[in-house]
Amino acid sequence: MDLGLNGKWALVCAASKGLGKGCAAALVREGVNVVITARGAEALEATAAELRALKGGEVRTVAGDITTAEGRAAALAACPQVDILINNAGGPPPGDFREWDRDVWFKALDANMLTPIELMKATVDAMAARGFGRVVNITSGSVKAPIGVLGLSNGARSGLTGFVAGLARSSITARGVTINGLLPGAFATDRLRTTMRAGAAKAGQDPDAALKAREQAIPARRFGTAEEFGAVCAFICSVHAAYMTGQNVLLDGGAYPGTF
Ligand code: NAD
């Protein structure tokens, strides 16, 4: 299927590893030119080299923290026009809400709610003026089914999801701009491995056995891959998904137990 994206420009945030990288790779394969960001220049350049080897769209890099005004300005400046915006950043740490003060909350809100909103604010009107735009917000399955220890994530990402539910049904909708959430369940990325191994070690469990048990608890009996995540992201960005907006698409191998 031709996704109809050849020659478009995408800003893919937090994309040197994991899900962001999976999205960038899928878009580059479709001939999309991408600007990828991450805090560490070394991993970012290594990823850019991998993406360039795909021989698809052009790949530009911007090293910086996307949760800061300077990081966002640099990322936007490197992209001639943003036809596609993939919002992503690191997730907040687990913990007990009794230990979180306002600063901890604002850090989570900045990363997982206000940064995507700032980037949409900077891009969606120009997308609408050109008659085409796609925003995919990488959030979490925790938006549908909260995860106890991830209260910061549950809260900040639900705030973003609620805001987007309104924006995705506003005047930009009739002008070719869609905004959707892509909700990862458990994907085999650095973050998942590090978080799970640390949790297992803290609980006195064998990390490998804990990872295996977690996989077995998923109906698909495995973690998802960044490639699978990227492929769905690219489809949501495609011309074929023009009638799909304001949706929250869960990719979790069947882990969420509800009918809807
Ligand atoms: P990852 O650790 O594998 O990759 C994160 C990427 O983001 C890296 O490239 C890192 O350099 C970059 N990054 C982090 N903070 C940044 C910042 N402030 N500015 C710029 N770049 C930044 O993580 P992942 O598993 O791909 O997760 C991506 C997002 O999806 C996270 O918010 C995570 O909480 C969420 N998520 C992941 C899973 C999963 O199973 N992997 C499940 C639910 C939610």
Q: Is 92 a pocket residue for ligand 1 (Cβ < 6 Å)?
A: no
Amino acid 75: pLDDT: 98
Sign of CA dihedral 184, 58, 168, 176: negative
Q: Is 175 a pocket residue for ligand 1 (Cβ < 6 Å)?
A: no
Largest Cα–Cα separation, the chain: 56
Summarised one tens digit per residue, pLDDT across range 147-199 is: 999 999 999 999 999 999 999 999 999 999 999 999 999 999 998 998 888 88
Q: What is the DSSP letter of 114?
A: I
Q: Is 38 a pocket residue for ligand 1 (Cβ < 6 Å)?
A: yes
Q: Is 8 a pocket residue for ligand 1 (Cβ < 6 Å)?
A: no
Amino acid 198: pLDDT: 87
Summarised one tens digit per residue, pLDDT across range 70-124 is: 999 999 999 999 999 999 999 999 999 999 999 999 999 999 999 999 999 999 9
Summarised one tens digit per residue, pLDDT across range 31-45 is: 999 999 999 999 999
| pLDDT of 26 strictly over 90 | yes
CA of 141 to the centre of ligand 1 (A): 14
Residue nearest to atom 17 of ligand 1 (CA): 65
Mean model confidence pLDDT for the chain: 97
Work out which ligand 1 atom sits closest to the CA atom of 194.
2
